[in-house]
Amino acid sequence: MKESENIDDEGDDGFWSGGSFVQSISKEEMEKKNRTIHMKNNEEMDYACKRCKVKISAHNKDWHGGMCDDCFNKEIFSED
Ligand SMILES: [Zn+2]
């Protein structure tokens, strides 16, 4: 009875050719981020916090808005 279940009719590339959910972020960007998400936040301390200039890791750069943990928390919890 479900007439909408005909996704497979167009072939295997039907799902990926649309790609609406990958448009906002490039494949390269995603791979870069996937690399750092599993890193510890004291690995690759090659970056600087954009607020207080303390050294931060690649993980913090990608996942904490380019900030150290302190600044990141302040940014998140600052309501005013
Ligand atoms: Zn900071």
Three-state helix/strand/coil letters over the chain: CCCCCCHHHHCCCHHHHHCHHHCCCCHHHHHHHHHHHCCCCCCCCCEECCCCCCEECHHHHHHCCCCCHHHHHHHHHCCC
Rounded distance from Cα 43 to ligand 1 centre (Å)? 16
Rounded distance from Cα 51 to ligand 1 centre (Å)? 5
User: What per-residue confidence (pLDDT) applies to 59?
Assistant: 95
Q: What are phi and psi of 48, to 5 degrees?
A: -120, 140
Show pLDDT as tens, one digit a residue, over the chain (80 residues): 555 555 555 555 555 555 455 557 788 888 989 999 999 989 999 999 999 999 999 999 999 999 999 999 999 888 66
Rounded distance from Cα 4 to ligand 1 centre (Å)? 50
